A and B are shown apart, each in its own frame.
Chain A
Amino acid sequence: MAEDFDNVNIEDLEAKDTARKIPLGWLILFWGLILWGIYYLAMYSPVISGWTQEKAYEESVTK
């Protein structure tokens, strides 16, 4: 069979000249999400902010 298995060279699958480039937009997204995560964790963790879903419910019905 004249299958083309021999031309599976990793060099053909991955670029050489751009191999180390990470687009800036993606890096901003990556670190931005980590920062947002720290904020959200602080806001909604009972041991940090005291927020609990029960308290939020009680507030919503007494309003």
Chain B
Amino acid sequence: MAGELYRKPIMFAIVATVVILVGTIVTMFYPMFTEGMHPKLDNLKPYTALQLAGKDIYMREGCNNCHTQTVRPLKTEVMRYGEYSKAGEFAYDRPFLWGSKRTGPDLARIGGKYPDAWHYQHFENPQAFFAQSNMPKYGWLKDRKLDPAVSESHMKVNGFPYTAEDIGGLAAKSELDALVAYMQVIGTAVAKKVAPAAAAAAEERNPLEGDERAHERGEVVYKQYCDACHGDDGKGGIGPSLTDTTWLNKEGDIGDGRIYEIIANGTPNGMPPYANQLDKDKIWSLVSYIRHEQHKNK
């Protein structure tokens, strides 16, 4: 009886189809009708015309081949990238862009991590920020203008709200503008986790004070982490100068403990937190280095 199946191709094809459909229905088709597959966070907003254009460029250039957009709920991963990804963050992504390979870092929490200027300069020359980076340069995108008509049709297909002004404004924008706008919105529907203030911040004085070599150690760390934004010798660039006495846009010097805290926890306007990447000794050595450079400048 069972042997008959292998003599009847149509019957065989029907049985094979049914067998193939079982797993398909249980794990792919059925879940579509459950709520768990269509969640949406309350403060998730549809993409603006500029952001959507940026997302389209991200897809066109195949950025997903090297960057993921999902932080796994694993301790060190959350420390490195930020709060783990929530199902409700992706309701407007057609398709999802989680990726499958991290040749470059995850981008799920890139939005708001750096100022726009950082992105513009980094896209133009990633190696200026990280000498050993293997990311291609994307400065050529700034010479390509957006096409408002195309953007409008894409907004329509996605059903995102827009005004005539939004669309008209695109004519003056480049593809690089759009890509940066997209970078800045990724993952922003989830509130940034406020890093717990580093315990050492309470210490007003630098414990390395009196250590003659501390600023030299600090210089090594500075060159690795800081000079891309704050410039050679702390003279300033994308980020403010560290050698003057203006701190956080206010005239007047601040205490060692406060500088430590800024490095550890970052600031709301563009300085990323480093507490998870630098241990206490390294951060204090940076404070020593900054003080050393300040002193040289006086």
A and B: partners?
yes
Q: How many residues on the A side are at the interface (Cβ–Cβ under 8 A)? A: 6
Chain B 65-96 interface mask (CB, 8 Å, partner A; 1/0): 00000000111001000001000000000000
Subset of 12 A-B contacts with CB under 8 Å: A53-B73, A54-B73, A56-B73, A57-B73, A57-B74, A57-B75, A57-B78, A57-B84, A60-B74, A60-B75, A61-B75, A61-B78
Bound-state CA distance A56–B97 (Å) is 25
Residues on B with beta carbons closer than 8 Å to the beta carbon of A57: 73-75, 78, 84
Among residues of A, the one whose C-beta sits closest to the C-beta of B75 is: A60
Among residues of A, the one whose C-beta sits closest to the C-beta of B74 is: A57
Residues on A with beta carbons closer than 8 Å to the beta carbon of B84: 57
Residues on A with beta carbons closer than 8 Å to the beta carbon of B75: 57, 60-61
Interface residues of B (CB under 8 A from A): 73-75, 78, 84
**In the complex, how many angstroms separate the beta carbon of B52 from the nearest chain A beta carbon?**
30
Chain A 12-24 interface mask (CB, 8 Å, partner B; 1/0): 0000000000000
Bound-state CA distance A60–B73 (Å) is 10
**In the complex, how many angstroms separate the beta carbon of B28 from the nearest chain A beta carbon?**
18
Residues on B with beta carbons closer than 8 Å to the beta carbon of A61: 75, 78
Residues on B with beta carbons closer than 8 Å to the beta carbon of A54: 73
Interface residues of A (CB under 8 A from B): 53-54, 56-57, 60-61
Q: How many contacts between A and B, using CB within 8 angstroms?
A: 12
Bound-state CA distance A58–B84 (Å) is 11
Residues on B with beta carbons closer than 8 Å to the beta carbon of A53: 73
Residues on A with beta carbons closer than 8 Å to the beta carbon of B74: 57, 60
Ranked 8 nearest A-B pairs via Cβ: A57-B73, A60-B75, A53-B73, A61-B75, A54-B73, A57-B84, A57-B74, A57-B75
Residues on A with beta carbons closer than 8 Å to the beta carbon of B78: 57, 61
Bound-state CA distance A12–B74 (Å) is 55
Among residues of A, the one whose C-beta sits closest to the C-beta of B86 is: A54
Bound-state CA distance A61–B276 (Å) is 14
**In the complex, how many angstroms separate the beta carbon of A12 from the nearest chain B beta carbon?**
17
Among residues of B, the one whose C-beta sits closest to the C-beta of A63 is: B75
Bound-state CA distance A56–B74 (Å) is 9
Bound-state CA distance A53–B72 (Å) is 9
Bound-state CA distance A22–B187 (Å) is 53
Residues on A with beta carbons closer than 8 Å to the beta carbon of B73: 53-54, 56-57
Bound-state CA distance A56–B78 (Å) is 13
Bound-state CA distance A54–B78 (Å) is 12
Bound-state CA distance A60–B78 (Å) is 11
**In the complex, how many angstroms separate the beta carbon of A29 from the nearest chain B beta carbon?**
21
Bound-state CA distance A61–B74 (Å) is 9
Among residues of A, the one whose C-beta sits closest to the C-beta of B76 is: A60
List 10 additional A-B contacts (Cβ < 8 Å) besides A57-B75, A60-B75: A53-B73, A54-B73, A56-B73, A57-B73, A57-B74, A57-B78, A57-B84, A60-B74, A61-B75, A61-B78
Bound-state CA distance A60–B74 (Å) is 8
**In the complex, how many angstroms separate the beta carbon of B71 from the nearest chain A beta carbon?**
11
